[in-house]
Amino acid sequence: MIENFLRKIKLIQSISLEIPLSQAVFKDKLYEAVSEKKYNLFEQFSNNGKLFVGDITGDEFNIRPIKKLFQSNLSYLTRFKGNYQMSGSGKTIVQGEISISKFYPVLMLVFMIISYGFTLAIAFTAWTDLTPLIFVFGHGLIMLVVFYFVFRRCVNQGKHYMERELFFLTKENN
């Protein structure tokens, strides 16, 4: 139910690509481009030549773009979970879903609940006039809308990034 809602508000988007490589060649190129999934605090400073971080098991994968120093877009906040299979024409079909990492929206909501809870606690103990509460609730609503648009833009940028990098992954001559 929540997944359908996230699809409706475009925080989860489906992607389907037809790649002009055989499944074995695509799998080898994907393994070359994906670094193993581990927590690395200084990931943006490492230079291992990989494009993605994640797991590949069989014909399924769960990857995200690697963080880069001075990266202007937030595509590294997205996750691409999908699979690949061979089509009848000898091409590989990659299907999956792009979504925002579940950590960041939860972190933003927890931060907002704590900060607005603290603000409301001060408001009820210090103010006799409840007019500033209108400002506090309005500000909270505006912040939720802003975060929605930021996360939606992250998903759109992540989708564009994945399509572009998987396409160029097929064009490399290694």
Domain assignment of residue 136, yes or no:
no
How confident is residue 172, by pLDDT bands cut at 50, 70 and 90?
low
Domain assignment of residue 115, yes or no:
no
41 pLDDT higher than 70: no
Domain assignment of residue 129, yes or no:
no
CB burial of 104-116 (b: ≥16 within 10 Å; e: otherwise) equals bbeebeeeeeeeb
Query: Model pTM?
Result: 0.80
Mean pLDDT, all residues of the chain: 83
Share of the chain above pLDDT 70, in %: 91
Domain assignment of residue 11, yes or no:
yes
Structural domain total, the chain: 1
Q: How much is the average pLDDT of 10-37?
A: 89
Q: How much is the average pLDDT of 36-56?
A: 75
Domain assignment of residue 28, yes or no:
yes
Domain of residue 161 covers 2-105+141-171
Domain holding 159: CATH number?
A: 3.30.530
N residues, the chain: 174
How confident is residue 111, by pLDDT bands cut at 50, 70 and 90?
confident
Domain assignment of residue 78, yes or no:
yes
